[in-house]
Amino acid sequence: MVVSRLSDSPAPAFELLPEETPEETAGADIRLLRRVAAPEVLPFRQNRRGPAPEVIAQQVVVVCGPKGGVGKTFVACNLAAALAERSKLEVGLLDLDLAGGDAGLFLDLLEGPSLQDLLPSLKEGLSQEHLQGGLVIHRPTGARVLLSPARPELSEAFGLDEYQALLTAARREFQILIVDTPGAADNDLTYEALETATLILLVTTPDTASLRRCKVMIDLMKRLSLPVNERLRVILNLAGPAARVTPAGVQAFLGLKLLAVIGEDRKAIDASLFEGIPVVLSHRQHPASLSLMKVANEVCPIFLEPARPNRLARALAVRRRG
């Protein structure tokens, strides 16, 4: 129990408050840190012009990696935020890293329902109404998120049947669904997700272990008869001058062209994670944001081109310089 003093009482008095769970305490700690150190953030602006675009084809974008720590959740969350903000499509993010998902941390979604709340419905047949009850809305962009369970041990209750029911309902709900897969490349759910993907984003870092495992993953995808050349795109993360393998070397080793290269800038990326604001929103002109927008443009080129200044804006700029 937690003891709290009753400040309006004339004599010292106390009340017993319900004991917080470890998950609630951790979330409260993170929120406190963010309030103390939060910088001034400009309001998010929607860049949505004209009527909603026609959906040519529904997209299921699976973001995977050869191992944990390569930045796949960073890519998945920023991609979902960019697509939801810059288009009028219904964008969903499914955190399928059931034992250790961090999408809620990257998007500052520390409260609300998660996949564990959908588990009873998944066993009986998940309706759209039940699915909507498990979604958390990312207010700055409108993206809707299915968060991983708060407790890692609950991941054991999810099998292929539950995932298939979840994916079927999610594909009905969203026009673009981003799936963040488990950190371990050999997870059954990862390969189940790959088979349903319309686009596969393989995120890697330029270290030897990650590249070797990437090669193994690509070979396995080919053995599973997945259309690698048509659907697979590789993103190189944490690329920098200190890396022993250059982007050109990565392409040569994997036999695939890189869709995007994200540089190693720990300061901006760590600040984005600490604040719970995707870097595509907090640092829009940062090289990492521009690389991520290139990825978003691969998923959905509609309305993702940067807005050009109009004549009035150009005239005012010239006048100020003069």
Asked if 117 and 134 count as a contact pair (C-beta separation under 8 A), the reply is yes
- For 276: left if phi > 0, alpha if psi spans -120 to 50, otherwise beta; the answer is left
- Which two tokens mark 285? 């002109």
Calculate mean pLDDT across residues 135-161.
88
Calculate mean pLDDT across residues 257-264.
95
Say what the pLDDT of residue 27 is: 53
Calculate mean pLDDT across residues 43-47.
37
% of the chain surpassing 70 pLDDT? 76
Asked if 292 and 260 count as a contact pair (C-beta separation under 8 A), the reply is yes
Using pLDDT thresholds of 50, 70 and 90, give the confidence band for residue 122.
confident
Higher pLDDT, 53 or 268: 268
Using pLDDT thresholds of 50, 70 and 90, give the confidence band for residue 237.
very high
Tell whether the model's pLDDT for residue 235 goes beyond 80: yes
Using pLDDT thresholds of 50, 70 and 90, give the confidence band for residue 313.
very low
The overall average pLDDT reported for the chain is 80
Tell whether the model's pLDDT for residue 58 goes beyond 50: yes
CA distance to 4, 6, 19, 26, per residue, from 16 (Å)? 7, 10, 9, 20
Sign of torsion over alpha carbons 170, 49, 279, 260? positive
Q: Which residues contact 187 (CB under 8 A, 6 or more apart)?
A: 181
Asked if 145 and 59 count as a contact pair (C-beta separation under 8 A), the reply is no
Using pLDDT thresholds of 50, 70 and 90, give the confidence band for residue 75.
very high
As a whole number of angstroms, the distance between CA 247 and CA 259 comes to: 11
> How many CA atoms are closer than 13 Å to the CA of 321, on its beta-carbon side?
6
Calculate mean pLDDT across residues 65-76.
94
Say what the pLDDT of residue 184 is: 76
Calculate mean pLDDT across residues 85-112.
91
Reported pTM: 0.78
As a whole number of angstroms, the distance between CA 138 and CA 107 comes to: 7
Return the residue matching tokens 């309030």: 35
User: Helix %, strand %, coil % for the chain, to 5?
Assistant: 45, 15, 40
Higher pLDDT, 160 or 208: 208
Tell whether the model's pLDDT for residue 294 goes beyond 60: yes
